[in-house]
Structure 1
Amino acid sequence: MKSHNLLEMLSRTVKRFPERTALSWEENDELHKLSYQRLWNMIRDFAFGLEKIGIRPGAKIAVIAENHPRWVISEFAVLSLGATSVPIHPNRHPDQIRKILRHADVTGIITDRYELLEKVKGASDLLQHSILLNGKADGSLGALQFETIIQIGQSIANEEQEWAYPSIQPLDVAVIYYPNDKTKTEKGVLLSHGNILNNLQSFLYVIPYTKHDRLLSVLNLSHPFERIAGYLAPLATGAEITYIARDANWVKASKRIKPTLFSLSPVLVHTIYEYLNKQIQSSPAKKFLFQHALRQAEKIYGLKRKGYNWSVPSSLQLHQSLSQTLLFAPLQKQLGGRVRFILSGGAPLNEKVHRFFWCINLPVVESYYLTECASVISATNLSCPQPKTAGKPLPGIELRIQADGELMIKIPQVISGYYKIPLSDTNVYTNGWISTGDHAEMDADGTLHNLRRKVELDPQKAVLPTAVHKEPMAGFSP
């Protein structure tokens, strides 16, 4: 049976894997771990503490912090009370943050930066609560410490107070996203529990996460793609998420963390490429051996691109096996030696970069996401390299190319729209179809490629023919 809300989704994982590690983080050169049961208990305690200080259903609470288990605890606690999370990247300009706080009617801020509280002081008359995730709070700003809220909640939890989360419905708003665009108009995208859960279920149907996975979280948790790929998908499957210090080199950290998955932006995937390529170029002999090995691997790559039924000659298989043992495996150990695949969300990767990862047996799954649709729309196949594409739509998602080349999307559930802006007042939603603002081309099988922003197109170029593709729900249980 499908979960009604995000808390119910997490509670099911907790019941299945109470003692498995949910979250881990580096602090003072040590790796600390939090089990699923302990995570659940801390969410409950923090939620009861928030309720005690006055957080009520419908309240808008901003979470502005670096990646850390306390970010996860804070948001789930907020959601469990029927309140709404407003995630904001901590590196956004203070003026932008102040505008968001005002527009979203935020009544509480949860942050790991005391100086931020100083900068947004007085941003809105509605602001009543400030909570610091670490460090000491200055009474002059009325901020409370994370530990204080936990202690308040524990005293209430011991009295076996009823937790409100089972009453939260799929249509209840969970998150308000404010995209970091260049327009002066504040646009808060509303996402309900149902929106997010539907996208999460479609995503996991295509992308194989397991309870044995460990994901190194790099993108900030306020990022829409990270919410699905790097935050909720691991927690829905019993996997482990690891966070590192803000100033740590995440590529080098992966060698000691030994992740099996990454969820990254194309820029960050390119960072790994440059790091590994530097290892290859470290000596003339190593460079020569890798160049030869990669040339042979590219032949296999070419066969894989043709589809499942193309057999690989035994001579190439032998060469690839030797290359894996002598060259590729040591290179993979620079990332910990356990990476199964890398998820990339956003613009298509450079084909050279895409091909490199597949050739050294580190497949990259590329995807296209849209915040209005709760994130991931399409993804490439893990078994077959598809360079310069965004893959096929996830189950239940329908795509259409307009006559002018714009990509339109229809999702199984109704989108929630924008905060304070009725959908009828926008040109985003028409007869169930969502305007993406992106232009694309689509093959007969539904594969998206040549994605680019609509504003970047030359208006003199010929328009594309209309095409429609819907990914069937077969084998996909709601």
Structure 2
Amino acid sequence: MSSIPSLLRDRIAATPDAEAYRTPSDGGWTSASWREVGERVRELALGLAAIGAGPDTRVALLSSTRLEWILADLAVLSTGAATTTIYPSNTAAESAFVITDSGSTIVIAENDDQVAKIRSVQKELPDVTKVVVIDGTPSDDGWVVRFDALPGLGDGERDYDAMVDAIPQDGLATLIYTSGTTGRPKGVELTHDNWLYTGGAVRELGLISPDDLHFLWLPLSHSFGKLLEVVMIDIGVPTAIDGRLDKIAENLGELRPTLMAAAPRIFEKIHNTVTATVRREGGLKLRIFTWARATGLRVVKARQRGAAIPATTRLEYALADRLVFAKLRERFGGRIRYFISGAAPLSQDIAEFFDAAGLTILEGYGLTESSAGSFLNRPETVRFGTVGPPLPGTQVRIADDGEVLIGGRGIMRGYHGLPEDTAEALKDGWLHTGDIGEVDSEGRLTITDRKKELIKTSGGKYVAPTYLEGRIKAACPYASHVFVHGDRRNYCTALITLDMEVVRPWAQAEGLPLDAEALREHPRMREEVERAVAQVNAEEASYATVKKFAILAEDFSVESGELTPSLKIKRKAVETRYGDTLDGFYDQPA
């Protein structure tokens, strides 16, 4: 195959009647076969071609994760056009920038609210000829048409297969704009060949089979979600799709999937909810949970060292599994073979807890610029704290300054319209990731931190903030986000936000205020956070310990600007918003 649409065509030919996708409907789930998906994509593609999609054009896709996102993406690609992805949480101004910078001439929007967003900046979008709305109303002026009307617009004489056959393997498939933790987003140009390589590399690992059931909720606007779309077509894995975050737990229990990928924040949330619940219940349940956790971690650490597990420990672990861990697995449907974590660093403490429960998380690593997937732990050789060895066909080098450099077919074509930035990122034929890392004797990569985000204290010591942040979150079930600060300062400090969904039941049971503003300064709340910080500090060098912290009343969020859509902290935004609080840490000596 030479393109994603030809990959889909091959999948339909191989397993036409197998289940492709499952979507929520009327309290249940509705399935579609690969044959049915292929027919819908064909009709939509012909309709899009009739309104101007085709080779050398871009179509912007502004929607949450749902089946129609995938159908629209595949239809756009089938015309020879490229998909420009936009997060539904983007503002009108942010959306306008992506649309104009990419040169998109058609926008596919999820609903009337998203259309209104585009309408509000219509004067800035002179090249947009049509807006296609998935769930919404067409406009009287013909600028907005309905998604389900596209099949009726198609030219019956146009040859769909000829359109697909004409797509070059090195042709542009996707423009994904980086989330911009440190400045203006750049459009990453990814070709059909980039995606075909990553899909084929994952298939070659043999970790996933058509017998699996994949649950997809991740943003498809993100490169991680897009990679999963291609992988599942390549292997022929049925995928249940529902992008509603508040339905993840319910869907896991109902669908009983075998695979799910997520950002670390989801695993942190699950861990913290479980831990806080048993703490609140106290008594015998807490003692059993604490014992089971300690027993499970002993087993995990022994396995990681390759050490033999004594017979008595195996018996204790079997009992711990029956009393605690089996119930936790049942919450996820009882069939999970493993989770996959990406998009941000996963705390080793969190990974070990899940592994103890028989819910192994395979952490991977990649950038948008490397088609999302470059490294992945393998189940038989998983090493927590690493992101595993490279995918087959991916090369890695560590530069003299510790920067991770990646080579291979998954590397982007370049940044859209930014030749100087492209030349800098792809210097000497390697993708310069901006991440600091090291490779062990087994070829597994460990990412220590972002090159630009390493803290250098005034004493000249380097500190990895995301590592400390992950450890504090793992130690404190009530923490939602942690931001460690200290660049060019004489010690490290932290801002900590509360996960009120987890905190509120505990606060109510303790007779504490339920309002975040009142609660954050309460001695009991500070005591809980202080205990976690002290626990982490005890295992760190003095220069890497957090000397002071503040609990914030408001959590970081995408909407308020402190998080990217993939839930990574925008460090500059936090430093700007909370500059006075951070400066105040250093008014008095620690």
> How high is the TM-score relative to the length of structure 2?
0.73
Alignment of 1:157-196 (within 5 A): 162-196=161-195
- Distance between the aligned counterparts of 2:355 and 2:254, measured in 1? 23
Separation of aligned partners in 2, 1:70 and 1:286: 45
Q: Deviations over 1:404-458 (max 9, x none)?
A: 2211111146641121122686311122111111112222333222431111225
Match in the other structure for 1:402? 399
Which moved further from structure 2: 177-186 or 316-325?
316-325
The within-5 A match list for 1:330-369 is: 330-369=327-366
Equivalent residue for 2:204?
205
Tell me the residue number matched to 1:472. none
Structure 1: runs of 5+ lacking an equivalent: 463-478
The verdict on how the C-alpha distance between 1:326 and 1:19 changes in structure 2, with shifts beyond 3 A counting, is farther
Q: Greater CA deviation, 376-385 or 194-203?
A: 376-385
CA distance in structure 2 between the partners assigned to 1:319 and 1:166 by the alignment: 60
Note closer, same or farther for the CA distance 1:240–1:315 as it changes in structure 2 (3 Å cut): same
Aligned twin of 2:543: none
Quote the sequence identity (%).
Answer: 24
| 1:180 to partner: Cα distance | 1.2
What do residues 297-340 of structure 1 show as CA deviations (whole Å, max 9, x unaligned)?
22321222124xx5444443344334334432221111111111
Indicate conservation of the 8 Å contact 1:214/1:242, yes or no.
yes
The more displaced of 346-355 and 186-195 is 346-355
Residue in structure 2 matched with residue 143 of structure 1 by the alignment: 144
Question: Separation in 2 of the partners of 1:246 and 1:283?
Answer: 32
- CA apart distance, 1:4: 1.2
Compute the displacement of 1:381 (Å).
Answer: 2.5
What's 1:219 paired with? 218
Match of 2:485 in 1: none
- Give the whole-Å Cα distance in 2 for the aligned partners of 1:172 and 1:273: 43
1:351-403 deviation digits (Å, cap 9, x = unpaired): 22111100010000011111111111111221244222222111222212222
Residues 424 and 130 (structure 1), Cα distance of their counterparts in 2 relative to 1, 3 Å cut: closer
* Separation in 2, partners of 1:203, 1:421: 30
Question: Using the alignment, how far apart are the partners of 2:368 and 2:411 within structure 1?
Answer: 14
| Structure 1 runs (4+) greater than 4 angstroms displaced | 159-163, 278-283, 458-462
User: Could you tell me which amino acid in structure 2 is paired with residue 249 of structure 1?
Assistant: K
2:99 aligned residue (89, 98, 101): 101
- For 1:390 and 1:258, the matched residues in 2 are separated by 26
Q: How many residues align?
A: 456
CA contact (8 A) 1:304 1:384 kept: no
**What's the counterpart of residue 326 of structure 2?**
329
Superposition TM-score, scaled by structure 1 size: 0.89
Structure 1 window deviating more from structure 2 (62-71 vs 143-152): it is 143-152
Which region of structure 1 is more displaced relative to structure 2, 218-227 or 271-280? 271-280
1:470 is matched with: none
Measured in 2, the distance between the counterparts of 1:421 and 1:351 equals 37
Q: Is the 8 A contact 1:400 1:409 kept in 2?
A: yes
Between 1 and 2, higher relative CO (CA 8 Å, sep ≥ 6) is seen in 1
For 2:570, the equivalent position in structure 1 comes to none
Contact 1:9 1:236 in 2 (8 A): yes
SS of 2:61's equivalent?
Answer: strand
2:496 aligned partner: none
- Residue correspondence of structure 1 range 267-416 to structure 2 within 5 A: 267-278=265-276, 280-281=278-279, 282=281, 284-307=283-306, 310-412=307-409, 415-416=412-413
More helix by share: 2
For residues 408 and 368 of structure 1, the distance between their equivalents in structure 2, rounded to whole angstroms, comes to: 13
CA contact (8 A) 1:117 1:141 kept: no
Q: Which amino acid aligns with 1:133?
A: I
Query: Partners of 1:186 and 1:314 in 2: how far apart?
Result: 55
Which residue in 2 is equivalent to 1:119?
117
Structure 2 unaligned blocks of 5 or more: 463-590
Whichever of the two has the greater Rg, that structure is 2
Give secondary structure in 2 for the equivalent of 1:112.
strand
CA contact (8 A) 2:48 2:150 kept: yes
Distance, in Å, in 2 between the alignment partners of 1:56 and 1:108 is: 11
SS, match of residue 139 in structure 1:
coil
Q: For the structure 1 residues 412 and 186, does the alpha-carbon distance in structure 2 shift closer, same or farther, using more than 3 Å as the test? A: closer
Residues 1:39 and 2:40 are matched in the alignment: no
